[in-house]
Amino acid sequence: MRALIRSVLAALLVAGGLWMGYRAWSGSAAGGRGTLHTHRIGASEGDRGHSVSVWMPPGYDTTRTEEYPVLYVQDGEHLFEPDDVPDWRVDERLSRLIAENRLPPLLVVGVHSSEQRLREYVPTVPFYLQPDSLRRPTQRQIGRPRSNAYLQYLYEDVTMFVRRQYHVDPAASRTFIAGKGLGGLAALYAAAKMPFAFGGAAVFSPDWTPGRTGADTAFATAYRDYLAGQREALRSSRLYFDYTTASAERGFTPHRNILTAFLRNPLFSRDRWTVRRLDAASSEAEWPDRVEAAVRFLMDAPAPEPSSFFQPPAPRRE
């Protein structure tokens, strides 16, 4: 009977978006890998919600005077699990940097993707700014984007839950968002649409042709036009972009050029955005380096030692 009662209670907690699991890694010489909590956070507006992993650094202290900055990451199922592919090993790298006093302590919140990933991550407004002749076939393929609803859920349900349950700083200047591919486009959309919530975004290897295989730049152009209308909102944001030399990303050069030209607008301070080229045949092998560079930039922390992994852009010809 007790087992039955526990099962019923667990089911009710999951249904109500309150289920929570805990995972604490064993300590190490560097001070341990921190603690990982897993929640199922339901949506207040007709959505089943998402699983959410919250990583706390070693020495996490709810009584300290200064609240912790926090980084929200899309596709959060890839951040911490060593058996996952790709595993970003966020906990390992950040724990070491924090232990060495090379990075301030922070929390990382990984929002797991759902079966609606494509619709939730494709930015709604830029999508509808495309020419109808390109938008309609894509819409028939993927359906109507739901990123506005997803961002509402992310802000109203996830960030508010994290603020209630964890010792985090609610200030936008200490709250950041990140993602890879379509998740990166969603992170940039969040920073532009909700500057009151996120003070910066890290965009890893963005996918500039969502739902299509063609090389046209219609979506990148539409995204640029949307961002142009959000210039004031983005003015104080910190924006990190990177891409690799892997063959899968070579076709995105014209798309990146559209974005970089936009960022060079005098309205944006040059020290508040960066675009980095990564010399790597595969983007998956170097995730710890990419995450470290992005977190350092977003938090305005001292840069790491020069590495051949990050290649400076070629000099521009006058």
Q: Which two three-digit tokens encode residue 267? A: 């309205």
Domain parsing of the chain, residue ranges: 16-311
Residue 145 Rama label (left phi>0; alpha psi -120 to 50; beta): beta
Q: What is the dihedral of CA 215, 73, 203, 57, to 10 degrees?
A: -150
Nearest-angstrom CA–CA distance, 173 and 176: 8
Q: How many residues does the chain have?
A: 318
Q: What is the dihedral of CA 80, 106, 166, 184, to 10 degrees?
A: -60
User: For position 211, what pLDDT does the model report?
Assistant: 67
CATH fold of 16-311 reads Rossmann fold (3.40.50)
List the single range of 5-9, 102-106, 112-116, 187-191 with lowest mean pLDDT: 5-9
What is the chain's alpha carbon radius of gyration, rounded to the nearest angstrom?
A: 20
Question: 3-class SS at 80?
Answer: coil
pLDDT tens-digit map of 268-293: 888 899 999 888 665 555 788 899 99
Identify the H or E element spanning 39: strand 35-41
Cβ(242)–Cβ(278) under 8 Å? Answer: yes
List the single range of 140-149, 164-173, 192-201, 307-316 with lowest mean pLDDT: 307-316
pLDDT exceeds 70 at position 242: yes
Q: For residue 121, how many other CB atoms are within 10 A of its CB?
A: 25
pLDDT tens-digit map of 110-161: 999 988 899 999 999 999 999 998 889 888 888 899 999 999 999 999 999 9
Cβ(85)–Cβ(50) under 8 Å? Answer: no
Helices (H), the chain: 2-15, 90-99, 117-121, 124-129, 132-142, 147-153, 160-165, 182-193, 218-229, 231-234, 253-263, 287-298
User: For position 266, what pLDDT does the model report?
Assistant: 80
Residue with the two structure tokens 């202290």? 61
Q: Which two three-digit tokens encode residue 239? A: 């924006």
In DSSP notation, 189-248 reads HHHHH-TTT-SEEEEES--SSTT--S---HHHHHHHHHHHHTHHHHTT-EEEEEEE-SGG
pLDDT exceeds 70 at position 1: no
pLDDT tens-digit map of 35-75: 999 999 987 766 678 999 999 999 999 898 999 999 999 99
b vs e for 206-230, b when ≥16 Cβ sit within 10 Å of the residue's Cβ?
bbbbbbbeeeebbbbbbbbebbeeb
pLDDT exceeds 60 at position 314: no
